[in-house]
């Protein structure tokens, strides 16, 4: 079986987070301002400043996240089947 490479899974998870409502909620809550030094995000030409959202508890185990995605979502084809939308809702 050919597996989806780890780098692709991690990259897609990162993109999901970057577009998430949760991340945007944090940026709005904190008014796009660094909670440590007070610097504010700016797009003004010549004064560009970015801010990032930090997980206080960290993303502890990328390998475990990727393992679970492979086990339950990107599992072996013999653990999947094709269904119409109506039948899929029933399962």
- Which two tokens mark 12? 């897609």
Q: What integer pLDDT is reported at residue 90 of this predicted model?
A: 93
| Average pLDDT score over residue span 5-30 | 95
**pTM to 2 decimals?**
0.75
Q: What is the pLDDT of residue 61?
A: 87
35 vs 18: CA distance, rounded Å: 19
DSSP state of 77: G
For residue 11, pLDDT beyond 90: yes
Q: At what angle do helices 21-29 and 6-18 cross, to 10 degrees?
A: 50
């Amino acid at each position: 079986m050919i597996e989806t490479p780890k780098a692709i899974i991690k990259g897609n998870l990162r993109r999901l987070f970057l577009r998430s409502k949760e991340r945007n909620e944090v940026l709005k809550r904190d008014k796009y301002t660094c909670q440590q030094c007070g610097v504010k995000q700016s797009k003004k030409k010549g004064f560009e400043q970015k801010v990032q959202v930090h997980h206080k508890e960290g993303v502890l185990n990328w390998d475990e996240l990727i393992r679970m995605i492979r086990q339950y979502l990107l599992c072996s084809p013999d653990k999947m089947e094709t269904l119409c939308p109506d039948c899929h809702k029933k399962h």
